[in-house]
Amino acid sequence: MCGIAALFSNQVIDSKYIKNMTDSIKHRGPDSEGQACFCDGKVWLGHRRLAILDLSDDGKQPMSYADGRYWITYNGEIYNYIEIRQELERYGLKFRTKTDTEVVLAAYSFWGKECLERFNGMWAFVIVDLEDNKVFAARDRFGVKPLYYWYSSQNMLAVASEIKQFTVLPGWIGKINGQRAYDFLRWSQLDHTAETMFEGVYQLCAGMAAEFTFDKLESSFTQFRWYRLKAGTFDGDLYDAVNIFKERFFDAVSLRLRSDVKIGGCLSGGLDSSSIVCTVNEILRAQNKIASQRTVSAGARVEKYDESYYINEVLRSRGIKGYYVYPEMNNLFDVVDDITWHQDEPFGSTSIYAQWEVFKIAARNKLIVMLDGQGADEQLAGYHTFFAPRFAGLFKTLNWWKLYCEIKKCDEVHNYTAMFAIKGMISQLLPEPVVNLFRRVYNDNEAAPSWLDLKKLKAESINPSLFTGAKTSSVRDLSIAQLTASNLQQLLHCEDRDSMAHSIESRLPFLDYRLLEFVLSLPDEFKISEGVTKRILRESMKGILPETVRMRMTKLGFATPEEVWLKEYPDTFEVKLKEIIEMSDGIVTPKCLVYLNDVISGKRKFDFTLWRMISFGTWLKRFDICL
């Protein structure tokens, strides 16, 4: 797990630029650094290393293979590297290290770009082939590890793990991408396209790869999609599905325990993280290693937001030692500048602050690898937003009785009235202009809110969900949309930056592609029915999770009492908003203060809109953005 950098030009590049790029992400790799130069100074690879496998100097990067023909700078982990190495050895390939990095290089030398299909893991890398003067860059299936690129005005292509690495290069000017800023401010959407909130900075999207030659540095990569989600059709019953799911889940967790450093777990008390922690405990118990298991959790001083009861249920039932942290309002604005710098872009709620504090405690206790539950909600229909396409699908197929039963159960389990179901079906089935009319009737926020000046932002009032596939009457289709173009990408962005800011590798068992593709093949009712989400996971965790956790229906997940903070410290938030009005040159208008007062008085329901305004302003200032 590391940080990478690469520079390509038709002219000689000063060596200080690649060094500056790697220095700016020392947090991603505190154990060692390296740079390599090719083509008479026109091509550079840089690297910062966080040693996880083979802690010796053999794991240093950039690394070469095949007598120096291939060079790589690589960030990630290939969990099945042992099996791939054994296969390549049968073909006669030789290895000098025990790293997965060398396996990646050897696999590319033998299979070419088809090697990606064989990898089970997370990665972003750049490989240079000096014999063919070719560059190959690739990102993992779901975008766990980041990869950005930017063309400077100095005729130079830069590739990096984090956007901040471009700020140390000649020709850099931080300019705002107005449309993407609108998507974030109004719709809380980020990382749903190849564009970023910085004009001219792009990301290689999840499941994408790129190829180009040194002598043809065009205005964009020659990109291609190497991976598409495979969603087959499962024809067994729920009993069969549970057994297969459990087997694949245990294998996914087991693979992610391969490490030469200490491993811990993020434990929120929710179903996903608790399932991982208890599964790890089962595996370690079989190996007589349970004494080494550690978790880190975020609690809250406000009872409504505190999950300590469920966390302690897991810890007690399994005899695990857990560390706690309690994020406080009085520390939030002391660290928000640092969090923003590490995130590269604004973030949608203070839950990212809670996650930041969790990884800080993990680092303090030398837990270098942490397992976390990202990706479960999106594939297992864990969010309550999945009820809308569930209802819409039943309505569309004229399954009236089943629809009635589902709405009734949803009311019994979650206290959601029939109006909740009606609004959900309207949002999924009717054209967007009609939906906007209903939003006005129900006093929902309009597409072009008064607190945002679209002209100054140079953006159009377009709902990005129209292009991400989130508007659907299919639970599976919404899962695919959230996994590929909306929710998951934002969560992975924050997970990567919060963990790597503290030099920690975060591993995500639910994003084992074998498990995820199997879940997508299941019928909707195996995932969400009778008011119950994640049915397949709940069934598979019988006898493993405490029942109070397995069947809990509430959902938080490292949440902070942001609503309470807002109402207890209104003056602090008002000062921040006034700063943003001035700082944004009126993009955020004075009407944001009306919005604040409406939330505090109860006239408007609390959401994270106010935080997005504050985070946006912090980002403008921290990165010195030109408007």
Interhelix angle 178-187/609-622, rounded to 10 degrees, is: 150
In angstroms, rounded to a whole number, what is the distance separating the alpha carbons of residues 617 and 571?
A: 17
Q: What is the pLDDT of residues 38-67, one digit of tens each?
A: 999 999 999 999 999 999 999 999 999 999
> What values do phi and psi take at 438, rounded to 5?
-65, -35
Q: Can you give the pLDDT at residue 194? A: 96
Q: Which amino acid is at 233?
A: T
Q: Note the pTM of the prediction, 2 decimals.
A: 0.94
Using alpha carbons, select from 464, 478, 510, 500 the residue that is nearest to residue 146: 500
Give the tokens for residue 129: 């082939």
Q: Can you give the pLDDT at residue 445? A: 52
Flag the least confident range among 18-22, 127-131, 364-368, 484-488.
Answer: 484-488
> Residue 303 has what DSSP assignment?
G
Please list the alpha-helical segments (H only) found in 226-290. 238-255, 271-286
What's the mean pLDDT when you consider all of the chain? 93
Give the tokens for residue 627: 């408007």
Q: Can you give the pLDDT at residue 469? A: 58
Q: Can you give the pLDDT at residue 446? A: 61
Flag the least confident range among 140-144, 309-313, 398-402, 600-604.
Answer: 398-402
Q: What is the pLDDT of residues 162-213, one digit of tens each?
A: 999 999 999 999 999 999 999 999 999 999 999 999 999 999 999 999 999 9
Q: Can you give the pLDDT at residue 467? A: 64
147 in Cβ contact with 196 (< 8 Å) = no
Q: What is the pLDDT of residues 260-311, one digit of tens each?
A: 999 999 999 999 999 999 999 999 999 988 888 999 999 999 999 999 999 9
382 in Cβ contact with 518 (< 8 Å) = no
In this structure, the number of other CB atoms found within 10 A of the CB of residue 21 comes to 29
168 in Cβ contact with 537 (< 8 Å) = no
In angstroms, rounded to a whole number, what is the distance separating the alpha carbons of residues 227 and 121?
A: 13
Across residues 583-609, what is the average pLDDT? Answer: 95
Q: Can you give the pLDDT at residue 440? A: 55
Q: Which residues are catalytic?
A: 2
Res. 499 pLDDT band, cuts 50 70 90: very high
SS (H, E, C) 107-169: HHHHHHHHHHHHCCEEEEEEEEECCCCEEEEEECCCCCCCCEEEEECCCEEEEECCHHHHHHC
Q: Can you give the pLDDT at residue 208? A: 97
In this structure, the number of other CB atoms found within 10 A of the CB of residue 385 comes to 17
27 in Cβ contact with 502 (< 8 Å) = yes
141 in Cβ contact with 121 (< 8 Å) = no
Q: Can you give the pLDDT at residue 137? A: 98
